[in-house]
Amino acid sequence: MKILMINCSPVRNGATAEIIQTAHSFLKKTHEIRSICIDDYDVHFCKGCRSCHRTAVCVQKDDVTKIIAEFEWADSIVCVSPSYWADIPGQFKAFIDRCTPWCNTHEPHASIRSGKKGYAIALRTGPGMRECNRIIESIEHFYGHMEILPSGSLGLCSVEYKEDVEGRKQEIEAFCAQIK
């Protein structure tokens, strides 16, 4: 199986990246893995012109289609997102907004290969799960409109620095064992 892991954080080497590395190390034993960081791509903000509602193509030229090609490659997608003011980071939200041409909210719409599963891992620095749940809901809402089946989630509280991930390694690996 092919798994795409997305670092939804603009920080390439923080706690989110450490979670991806932990998951990648576990999953690579039995799966083909690709990992990307949203901040490595040039993603423009949606202009709200709704041209894609008529054409299923965005008028802007940036790296969104490169990310969609990675989605197309994968059988399963794992979005790993930190909390930025109790939700996903703006860079990832901008990408989601730009996926409107592929969303099932209008016709015509482009599409990615069907049958994909989507997983979400949310992390936050505080102790309560409420923010993690909100992040997971945002990711699963996105998956639904992309016709990716939400298939599992993990919320990790009290994770601020990459060093905090080591103590959560077993929890992350147990979650990864469910990815199919």
- End-to-end distance of the chain based on CA atoms, in angstroms? 8
DSSP class of residue 36 equals E
Q: How far apart are CA 45 and CA 95, in angstroms?
A: 8
Indicate whether 22 pLDDT > 90: yes
pLDDT score recorded for residue 180:
80
Q: Which two tokens stand for residue 58?
A: 């965005």
Kindly report the number of other CB atoms within 10 A of residue 57's CB atom.
Answer: 12
3-state secondary structure of 155: strand
Indicate whether 119 pLDDT > 90: yes
Superfamily per CATH, domain 2-176: Flavodoxin domain (3.40.50.360)
Indicate whether 62 pLDDT > 90: yes
Q: Is residue 92 within 8 Å of 20, Cβ to Cβ? A: no
- Tell me the mean pLDDT in the region 113-138: 97
Dihedrals phi, psi of 172, to nearest 5 degrees: -65, -45
Q: What percent of the chain has pLDDT over 70?
A: 100
Note the pLDDT tens digit of each residue in 139-178. Answer: 999 999 999 999 999 999 999 999 999 999 999 999 999 9
Q: What percent of the chain has pLDDT over 90?
A: 98
Please provide the average confidence, as pLDDT, over all residues in the chain. 97
- Tell me the mean pLDDT in the region 10-23: 97
Those residues with Cβ within 8 angstroms of residue 136's Cβ, 6 or more apart along the chain or in another chain? 120, 122, 153, 155
Q: How far apart are CA 83 and CA 130, in angstroms?
A: 11
| Predicted model pTM | 0.97
